[in-house]
Structure formats: C-alpha cells, structure tokens
Chain A
Amino acid sequence: MRILVCVKRVPAPGARINVTADGMAVDSAHLGFTTSPHEECAVEEAVRLVGEHGGEVTVMTLGPAAAEEQLRYAASVGADRFVLVPISEVDWDPQRTAAALAGSIADVESVDGAFDLVLFGNESADAGGFQVGVRVAHALGRPVVNGIKGVDIADGVASARREVDGGFEVYELPLPAVLGVKEGINLPRYPTMKGRLASKKAEVAVDERSVEVGGQVRVRLHRPVETVSETVILGTGPEAAPAVVDLLEELGLLP
C-alpha cells in the first residue's frame, strides 16, 4: 500500500496574527512554523494505515525551501519518502498550487506506479481555500471526499466516514482514491528519539515546477475589526466564587 500525503507549512501565531507592512503576508518574523493540523493528522493516518497493511508513506509539500522542516517532522513520525516543490513567492493561489502538486504527483507515479491513496487536509490552516485536494483529484481522475474523520481499507476499497449533524455519513471509494481528512480522525504521535535521528538522514527530492498563476490574486491581508471591552475582574482565588455565582444568576443560568 503506497500513500501520498500533501502537507503545507504554516506559521504558528499566538495571541493574534500580524500582517507585514505591505499587507501581503503574515508577519512571521518572530513565529515558529508548523504543519497545518488537519494534515498532521493525515500523515498520522497514512503511517497508521501502512503499519496495518504494509507499504510506504510519501509526503509532499509546495513551499519555501524551509518547508523541508515539515517534511523532516513527517520523517520523525514515520513517513518514508519526501518531495519538496519549491516556490520563491510567499504562497501560490489554489489553482496554481493544485496544478503543480498534480504535476509532481503524476511524475512520481510515472516512475513508481499510482499511489493507492492520496491524502489532503480538509482545508489549509492559513489560506483555507477548501479546494486544492479536490482539484488534484480531478486532475488525476480519482474519486475524492472531504471532511473525513475515519477510514478503513479492505479489498481495494476505502470506507470513509464523515461527520454530519447528529451522526455520520459513509462513503466507499474504490482505490486509487483521494481523501481530505479532518483533525480528530486520530491523535498524532510524538516523534521518538529514533524517529528524530532518522529524520536528519531523510532524503528530500526537490521537484521544481513552472505553472501559470490562477485567477484569484491577493490584494492584501488585514485583521478583522475587534471590539475590545474592559475586563471586569471578579476577584482573586476561591474568594471570587460568590461574585461568579452572582453573575451566573444574573444571566439566568441558575434555575
């Protein structure tokens, strides 16, 4: 079983997200970077499935050269092969990203054969375009369902569960297939010492792609207007309890 996971490197902001002076990017000067959470779970799911069925996990990212950090993190939790599609811009639009990833996947497949499963996150944490996985699946001519919170593979079929109000829906996709997964599908493992050592030695293939820009062009990023109100301090320590209960009473929450 061969599984490919597409992950995106994103900044990890704290209390608020600051934007660069030109408004074109998140100001990441003092920030760490991470793998978008849904995709971190996608990597875990791939490693879990390969643990169960045998095979190998390839992880691909389109991003700056520094995105190698996220590929090495994937190596530290059990992924086997790595592809970086380097870009010199801050980010590519969704059409361009999808075309580049689809091209790169097709090239890997032309050598090693089709991946049984290609995993995406439901949406990227920063851009949140809700489309790259669907576009890639369409380009590859494979079935795809988003929002997946559970998957089992048997007899060449991926049985996938998706949460809806009051329960879940079940889909059955013949392999090769594509899934967009959501955080909560599993609890990603932490890297082990052995994993960390292996990740240092992991080889990252670099696949430069030249693709036309898409129709959606960034003009600027900005923070939504926030109404900041004064915080009423009800007290310090357990002595504040009566004031808290007064508040609950006022709100009619203590019948």
Chain B
Amino acid sequence: MSLLVICDHDRGTLAEASLEALAFGRPLAILAGLEMTAVVIGEGAEQAAVDLAAHGASTVHVASHELLTDFGPEAWGETVAQLVRASGTTVVLACGTDRGNEVVAHVAARLDQPFVANCRSVEPDAGDWTMTRVQWGGSLLEDVKLTADVVLVTVAHHVVEPALADVPAAGVVTSFRPDLDAALARTVVIDRVVLTRGVTLATAPVVVGGGRGVGSAEAFGPLEELADLLGGVVGCSRAVTNNGWRPHSDQVGQTGTRIAPEIYIASGISGAIQHWVGAMAARNILAINTDSEANMVARAGHAVIGDLHQVIPAIIEEIRRRRG
C-alpha cells in the first residue's frame, strides 16, 4: 500500500513545488504506515525522476505514451487514475500549484472520489482522515473530515520547504504505460509562447503599490519613477484594475499575484483581506495613507500618514538628493 506523489516537471526539469509535496509526504507516509512512491509523466520524465530517491521515493513510476508529448491535464489525470488502480495506491498527493490542483481534480473525477485541495496539514486515521485546508486564498482555514476509498489531496504551495530525506530511498524506477484514448490529446499543450520580461511582480525586491487613492492611470507616474529608482516594479489593488488604470498583471492579491519583496510600499490602499493575502509575504511593509485607521496602516510595520501625491514625490526628491 502506498502514498503516491505526483511530480510535475517541465520538459524534464523537475518542478521545485514537487519537492515540497515529497517533503510533506514523507512524514505523512510514515504516520499512515505507507510506502512513499512517485510518478513522473511524459516526455522528459526519466530525466526528472533522477533526484526523487534522494527525496524519499521508494519507487518511481515513469509513465510514457506517445500522446504524452507535453503537459495535458486530462491525459495526466487519466494516467494517474490508471496507475492508482494498478498499483495499490491509497493516497495521492501533489503540490497545490495550478497544475497540481488541476491534475488531482481529474484523478478525482475519474475515480469518483473526493479531493481536498490546498491542505496545510493532514492527519491520517484508521477511519476518516482529517485535514486543515486553505479557503479564500489563505484568509481563512477549514477543518474537514474525509470519507474516501482513495485519499486525494494537495498540499498548499509554500507550506513546507523542499528538503532531502535523512536517508535516501531506493528510488527503483519502473515504467508504466497507460492505456490512453486518442481523444485525450485534445487538451495537451500544442504550443508555447515565451515572453521575456525583466523583473516580475512575483520576484521583484521592491514593489510600489497603488490603490484607489492614486486616483487615475496618469497619477501612477510618480509610483513608476520611485519603483525605477529602487529597481522594483509597480503593483496595484483590484480597485485599480477594475477602473482600467493598470493591467491585471499588476494586481496583488487573492485573484492577482502573490508578492514577496524586501519592501512593499502600499500607497492609497485600504488593505482589504483579499489584497493582504497577496502582500503578507513581503518582509517589510510601508503604508502611505491619509487614513491612520486604514487596515493597511494597522498591519504594516511602518507607515506615513499623508497624501501619497505629496509623500511619494518627496521620497523621490530625497533619494535624488542623497545620491547627489
């Protein structure tokens, strides 16, 4: 009986997030008295399988088929469902990335089993398992009880850090050939478009955020100038994207981007919970707000109370002055 970890890879390069799932799965497998196995799917899978023993997989199933040319949620889900049936797997685990959640949802639909997405903790039990999962993008937690023949879960991204196993496992590689209908190829990636971008919102060391308080698209000029001076980028709230002042790719929050900069300068943003969940991983937060009672001010480490249209130009001027 085994706990199977679905390991994602991009044309042979193992996804970091899968290492989180393996790190989460190791103690869980021990608690549940299961062997931890892994599956890697499609072209490049063999290459991606190399490190899995060191991360604790006793068996690594390498699934290949001529339809598995690239990522395809339906084909991957069907492959895992067949492997579960063929291998005595009682628990399936993946990391709760876009792909992880999507593939497990397909497995669940095919096995007609419940699927608990984005867990922070999972407690095995002889009867019903219990888990604590993320709701509202992290603003709320839900404890659930699960009645299932096969336990299907994802662990929320970034809940655990990737870590090598204390003792490497055998990592015996076995090949698995699923029986796939040609129709499943209808949702395999057929093309990729690469966009070369500079610093992205998700990885920028400095994010200068603007909310409704900025007032217009044009008024973001000084925020961009400050971001440029600090080697950062501009972010914004949903009020801003809804007004069409900035593109959605700048939005921070539950339905936008999660940021983790050294500092987030949040100006004219009230700090609604859906915005906050996207910003809370910032190491430092400076709020600039006319309202000293604003939620963003209460949650920030530092704040300036005042009109951002005066404060931001003054900061720019001060930086220029010190640089000479």
Contacts and interface: CB of A to CB of B under 8 A. Distances in A.
Interface string A167-198: 11111111000000011100110000000000
Contacts of A110: none
If over half of B's interface residues share one DSSP class (helix, strand or loop), that class is named, otherwise mixed; here it is: mixed
B206 A253 contact: yes
Contacts of B255: 37-38, 125, 182-183
Interface residues of B, number: 96
B192 A135 contact: no
User: By CB atoms of chain B within 10 A, which of A129, A241, A251 has the most?
Assistant: A241
A202 to B, nearest CB: 24
A251 B254 contact: no
A138 B106 contact: yes
Interface in B110-142: 110, 113-118, 130, 134-142
User: By CB atoms of chain B within 10 A, which of A126, A131, A183, A184 has the most?
Assistant: A131
Interface in A141-183: 143-147, 161-162, 164, 166-174, 182-183
Interface in A184-238: 184, 187-188, 214-224, 228-229, 231-238
A253 B205 contact: yes
A138 B301 contact: no
A78 interface: no
B242 interface: yes
Contacts, number: 262
B117 A170 contact: no
Interface in A104-143: 122-123, 125-131, 134-135, 137-139, 143
Given A128-B117, A234-B302, A253 B230 contact: yes
Contacts of A134: 73, 102, 105-106, 108-109
Interface stretch (B22-30, B59-67, B167-175, B313-321): B313-321
Interface in A1-28: 13-17, 19, 26
Given A134-B105, A228-B299, A15 B193 contact: no
Given A37-B255, A38-B255, A131-B108, A238 B311 contact: yes
A215 B113 contact: yes
A17 B113 CA distance: 30
A220 B190 contact: no
A134 B78 CA distance: 13
B131 to A, nearest CB: 9
Nearest to B74: A143
26 contacts: A15-B272, A98-B109, A125-B255, A129-B117, A131-B109, A134-B105, A134-B109, A135-B108, A162-B98, A167-B192, A167-B193, A171-B187, A171-B188, A216-B115, A218-B142, A222-B140, A224-B139, A232-B303, A235-B306, A237-B304, A238-B306, A238-B310, A240-B304, A244-B304, A244-B318, A254-B322
